[in-house]
A and B are shown apart, each in its own frame.
Chain A
């Protein structure tokens, strides 16, 4: 079945075995064994492998509800099977309207008790759901950091606000958060409805134009957690992923101060040529690179492009080859994406790739 994937990149600071992600399941769910076989242990972006308080609370709820549902279903099926297969007196003259009054009375009592039991179970489940919701809601208001995520067709704009304007950061498709700290994610959309969903950290929340909302994320282990747009948003809804990188406070601060810096002037000839091509062929109309005249806002900010893990909302890995392919023909990688194909000579293309690759 599914390949076991390591759920988290190891933190650089601590020594820790690469998590082998053995499928560890609570013993009490042994009854769901057949499900396990199907489940494999894909931990790519799974609600079954929580790494934050919210997601963990919800997974508990999922298991409790599943257990009740499985039990109820088995009970109903058992009674149905008994009703179908029970031994009956073989009288040939049975007429459909000959009804045993005593049996009817017994049925009435049994059905009434079954209904009472149903009501009881529903009340218990509703109460459990209420308390889970309450405990998740109690996280909001305790946040120490705010990130604003804006949905676009089909990528995520990510903004951090500092005390001064120079501390503001704009990046894309990647959120860095300090481990263990609740982080407020403010959500908004400027085009259509999207939904922000990182299953291993929290449930989803829609980004509705004109109705800003928010969500609290908390990660209790360092790692990278994948998320994906969950509300259908057009052609490339399938390729609109976001990565949450949870790291130690020091690593986070280091990342943040690096992102605050504008890009230095290009170092070599190739980079300079690349920057010229970038600024002169139209790339700059949509993209910003702080420290250069490029100030477009339609596409992702590319100031520290090379520091990110993936390209085009996790459509491609961040490698020079993928970057070149993407710039050469975005429509074949992500049909319908808003980025047009720009005619560049092979040399210009290579130069642009080298230049962008230097924007760490």
Chain B
């Protein structure tokens, strides 16, 4: 796609308005498409692009930067806890550190990174050229970035949130919350929820309407199924926390009394609203991770996944069940016996669909011919650790048992097994697996192995002993503990082990930096995988596929390794994608796809400014509405449909 080809395409475009791909030779087709789907060069291009790959990539990089910040906070906490009554970090900073660690890991790393991979991969895996609402996609990234920057800049100015990632009232309320700390927390939640909801909407529309012809529901790759279910969970869970964080900021800012028992409010209401979101949140992180596993495992087991239907139904079941167990975070608040039994049973029940997935994966390995590249190692590490986390989850589902271990290090151990073992291991595997697609280069296998073993061993040495510490009575969220407790040795051991995890992650980032420059050239399909993203170049061109594929099989590249059927008849001088029926992906329409625009960024700045201002004065909502409206009006200003011109 040299400059010459670009110019000639421009010239031809004027001559041939409405030109279709039918009968075009490959070189001219690519020139046309490259012109229509291009992102301008330089900073301006960086700001206006709506390419799902560029946005997905920067989402991933940003999320990993937040991972580093949250990881360093954890390291600082382990330093303070290494011995009893250590005086390195006082309670004020410690409380900010654990709050920032949890908040960042949940809101700024785990959820966004899962969305980021979905934004990057879904259009490629279902054979289309962009997500359904490309500008909304750009907008969601900017809003997320501003929210994340805001809370960390506030932390740098000693206004870091310090009431825990759950911000229970009254501790975070108007009377006991310190300065503006809880307000920054509450608004950060609003930012990231707006962005998560935007991505959820895009994913649902994209998966439902833009699948390649022939990709009926039973041929959707399992990873895409997993992000589809996740998008629905986001859609129903996130409003609960947006409502509660808005109520919190109203209590703090304009003196409403939602959570003030003295004025007829209820402190427990916060917990119900927060956990109604907070529990599905765990599955918003975990479900896409199981999608990674279902994508990686068949490739390295060299056979299709066993029990496709069972896994899809499990994903859907987990999505539904995740809304029925929020109360197990609140067992210690006191429940009637019937309520206890209900939520114990519902919490245990979620082990069934999770179990189905594990059994199907093991059957896949049994029936296949496994090889042990780094992505597969992470998948195996995932099964090893996640099963432990799932089983301790069954333990804490029991009300009496939970009353002993709730808010102790046992629970810290449990959810790190679920979230690190269950989500971060598959995520690291996913990075090793798709890095060649995203960058065109392979990551080093040798460093990858070191990376895996350090993280895997370090993780288990760090977190397993925490189960015991919890049973021995060590509560969570304490900045220190007395020497008489006898917890000192084990804490020292944990702190030392955490250095191993840290070293493992350092190798991970080193591997990425080195391989970006020197990695082996990957080629289109380095792993001989079966899904559509491997049918295009690595990295994929701006238009993803020069011709949209037609799908006749659940594993298209294994069924037709040499040649795929393709669609003809799309316009190539303007951005166009194909929309089909929801169930069978029968093509219905050629749909224009939005072009680059600066307005998503400007709207995000306006929205971000209004959110930020509302921390300080309620009038920011009123005055902020003006730039927000201007931004949205310009964004949606009609530009004349290409179809109308024909």
Interface set of A (CB-CB < 8 Å, partner B)? 1-3, 5, 35, 38-40, 42, 44-48, 55, 57-59, 61-62, 65-66, 69, 72-73, 76-77, 79-80, 82-84, 86, 88, 94-97, 99-100, 103-104, 107-108, 110-111, 114-115, 118-119, 122, 125-126, 128-130, 132-134, 136-137, 153, 191-193, 195, 197, 199, 202-206, 208-211, 213, 226, 228-238, 314, 335-336
Check A234–B176 contact: CB distance below 8 A.
yes
CB distance from B485 to the nearest CB of A (A): 5
**A193–B175 alpha-carbon span in the complex (Å):** 13
B170 interface contact, C-beta 8 A: yes
- CB contacts (< 8 Å) of B306 on chain A: these are 104, 107, 111
B394 interface contact, C-beta 8 A: yes
- CB contacts (< 8 Å) of A96 on chain B: these are 298, 302-304, 368, 530, 555, 558
- Choose the segment among B133-141, B342-350, B445-453 that binds chain A (4+ C-beta atoms closer than 8 Å): B342-350
CB distance from A293 to the nearest CB of B (A): 30
B332 interface contact, C-beta 8 A: yes
- CB contacts (< 8 Å) of B383 on chain A: these are 76, 80
CB distance from A137 to the nearest CB of B (A): 6
Check A118–B355 contact: CB distance below 8 A.
yes
**A77–B164 alpha-carbon span in the complex (Å):** 36
Check A2–B332 contact: CB distance below 8 A.
no
B209 interface contact, C-beta 8 A: no
- Among B91, B261, B306, B307, find the residue whose CB has the most chain A CB atoms closer than 10 A: B91
Nearest residue, chain A, Cβ from B168:
A193
Nearest residue, chain A, Cβ from B376:
A84
CB distance from B315 to the nearest CB of A (A): 15
**A134–B486 alpha-carbon span in the complex (Å):** 33
Check B363–A107 contact: CB distance below 8 A.
yes
- Choose the segment among B31-39, B401-409, B423-431, B613-621 that binds chain A (4+ C-beta atoms closer than 8 Å): B401-409
Nearest residue, chain B, Cβ from A75:
B387
Residues A38 and B473 in contact in the complex (CB < 8 Å), given A69-B394, A84-B370: no
- CB contacts (< 8 Å) of A126 on chain B: these are 341, 344-345, 348, 398
- CB contacts (< 8 Å) of A40 on chain B: these are 486, 489
**A38–B413 alpha-carbon span in the complex (Å):** 15
**A115–B317 alpha-carbon span in the complex (Å):** 14
- CB contacts (< 8 Å) of A238 on chain B: these are 91, 478-481
**A237–B344 alpha-carbon span in the complex (Å):** 29
**A83–B161 alpha-carbon span in the complex (Å):** 47
Check B176–A191 contact: CB distance below 8 A.
yes
B369 interface contact, C-beta 8 A: yes
Proximity string of chain B (554-571) to chain A, C-beta cutoff 8 Å, 1 when within and 0 when not: 010011000000000000
Check B401–A230 contact: CB distance below 8 A.
no
Proximity string of chain B (376-415) to chain A, C-beta cutoff 8 Å, 1 when within and 0 when not: 0000100110011001101101111111111110000000
**A185–B266 alpha-carbon span in the complex (Å):** 23
Check A204–B362 contact: CB distance below 8 A.
no
Proximity string of chain B (133-162) to chain A, C-beta cutoff 8 Å, 1 when within and 0 when not: 000000000000000000000000000000
Check A73–B388 contact: CB distance below 8 A.
yes
CB distance from B212 to the nearest CB of A (A): 19
**A45–B474 alpha-carbon span in the complex (Å):** 8
Nearest residue, chain B, Cβ from A129:
B398
- CB contacts (< 8 Å) of A108 on chain B: these are 307
**A226–B484 alpha-carbon span in the complex (Å):** 11
Check B344–A44 contact: CB distance below 8 A.
no
Proximity string of chain B (537-580) to chain A, C-beta cutoff 8 Å, 1 when within and 0 when not: 00000000000000000010011000000000000000000000
**A26–B261 alpha-carbon span in the complex (Å):** 47
Residues A130 and B344 in contact in the complex (CB < 8 Å), given A73-B391, A111-B356: yes
- Choose the segment among B12-20, B184-192, B464-472 that binds chain A (4+ C-beta atoms closer than 8 Å): B464-472
Check A122–B351 contact: CB distance below 8 A.
yes
Nearest residue, chain A, Cβ from B90:
A335
Total chain B interface residues with beta-carbon distance under 8 A: 93
**A65–B471 alpha-carbon span in the complex (Å):** 14
**A192–B401 alpha-carbon span in the complex (Å):** 25
CB distance from A328 to the nearest CB of B (A): 18
CB distance from B365 to the nearest CB of A (A): 4
**A45–B344 alpha-carbon span in the complex (Å):** 26
Residues A193 and B267 in contact in the complex (CB < 8 Å), given A65-B395, A73-B387: yes
**A206–B402 alpha-carbon span in the complex (Å):** 13
**A5–B472 alpha-carbon span in the complex (Å):** 13
Residues A80 and B365 in contact in the complex (CB < 8 Å), given A48-B472, A206-B334, A211-B268: yes
- CB contacts (< 8 Å) of A191 on chain B: these are 170, 175-176
Check B91–A45 contact: CB distance below 8 A.
no
Which positions 217-269 of chain B face chain A at CB distance < 8 Å? 261-262, 266-268
Check A83–B359 contact: CB distance below 8 A.
no
Which positions 503-546 of chain B face chain A at CB distance < 8 Å? 530
CB pairs A–B below 8 angstroms (15 shown): A42-B472, A45-B472, A65-B394, A69-B391, A73-B387, A73-B391, A76-B383, A80-B383, A130-B341, A192-B168, A203-B402, A208-B333, A232-B168, A234-B95, A238-B479
**A205–B261 alpha-carbon span in the complex (Å):** 19
Give the residue of B362, B478, B485, B489 whose beta carbon is less than 8 angstroms from that of A80. B362
Interface set of B (CB-CB < 8 Å, partner A)? 90-92, 95, 163-164, 168, 170-171, 175-176, 261-262, 266-268, 298, 302-304, 306-307, 310, 332-334, 337, 340-341, 344-345, 348-349, 351-352, 355-356, 358-360, 362-363, 365-370, 380, 383-384, 387-388, 391-392, 394-395, 397-408, 465, 468, 471-473, 475-482, 484-490, 530, 555, 558-559
Check B261–A99 contact: CB distance below 8 A.
no
CB distance from A223 to the nearest CB of B (A): 15
Check B405–A129 contact: CB distance below 8 A.
no
Check B486–A42 contact: CB distance below 8 A.
yes
Give the residue of A42, A76, A99, A204 whose beta carbon is less than 8 angstroms from that of B367. A99
- CB contacts (< 8 Å) of B485 on chain A: these are 42, 44-45
**A163–B489 alpha-carbon span in the complex (Å):** 49
- CB contacts (< 8 Å) of A336 on chain B: these are 91-92
**A100–B368 alpha-carbon span in the complex (Å):** 10
Check B395–A111 contact: CB distance below 8 A.
no
CB distance from A235 to the nearest CB of B (A): 4
- CB contacts (< 8 Å) of A69 on chain B: these are 388, 391-392, 394-395
Check B473–A47 contact: CB distance below 8 A.
yes
- CB contacts (< 8 Å) of B163 on chain A: these are 232
- CB contacts (< 8 Å) of B171 on chain A: these are 192-193, 232-234
Nearest residue, chain A, Cβ from B403:
A203
**A136–B401 alpha-carbon span in the complex (Å):** 11
Check A94–B302 contact: CB distance below 8 A.
yes
Residues A47 and B348 in contact in the complex (CB < 8 Å), given A42-B486, A111-B310, A209-B261: no
CB distance from A245 to the nearest CB of B (A): 17
- CB contacts (< 8 Å) of A35 on chain B: these are 468
Check A232–B476 contact: CB distance below 8 A.
yes
Check B261–A47 contact: CB distance below 8 A.
no
Check B337–A129 contact: CB distance below 8 A.
no
Check B472–A76 contact: CB distance below 8 A.
no
Check A228–B475 contact: CB distance below 8 A.
yes
Nearest residue, chain A, Cβ from B393:
A69
- CB contacts (< 8 Å) of A97 on chain B: these are 303-304, 555, 558-559
CB distance from B554 to the nearest CB of A (A): 10
- CB contacts (< 8 Å) of B489 on chain A: these are 1-2, 40
Nearest residue, chain A, Cβ from B405:
A47
Nearest residue, chain B, Cβ from A196:
B332
**A61–B68 alpha-carbon span in the complex (Å):** 39
- CB contacts (< 8 Å) of B475 on chain A: these are 197, 228-230, 237
Check B398–A205 contact: CB distance below 8 A.
no
Check B267–A205 contact: CB distance below 8 A.
no
CB distance from A263 to the nearest CB of B (A): 30
Residues A206 and B332 in contact in the complex (CB < 8 Å), given A40-B486, A118-B355, A230-B475: yes
- CB contacts (< 8 Å) of A129 on chain B: these are 344, 397-401
Give the residue of A80, A99, A136, A233 whose beta carbon is less than 8 angstroms from that of B303. A99
Check B471–A58 contact: CB distance below 8 A.
no
Give the residue of A95, A203, A208 whose beta carbon is less than 8 angstroms from that of B268. A208
Lowest 10 CB-CB distances: which A-B pairs, in order? A210-B261, A203-B403, A42-B486, A2-B486, A129-B398, A238-B478, A69-B391, A83-B366, A45-B473, A232-B477
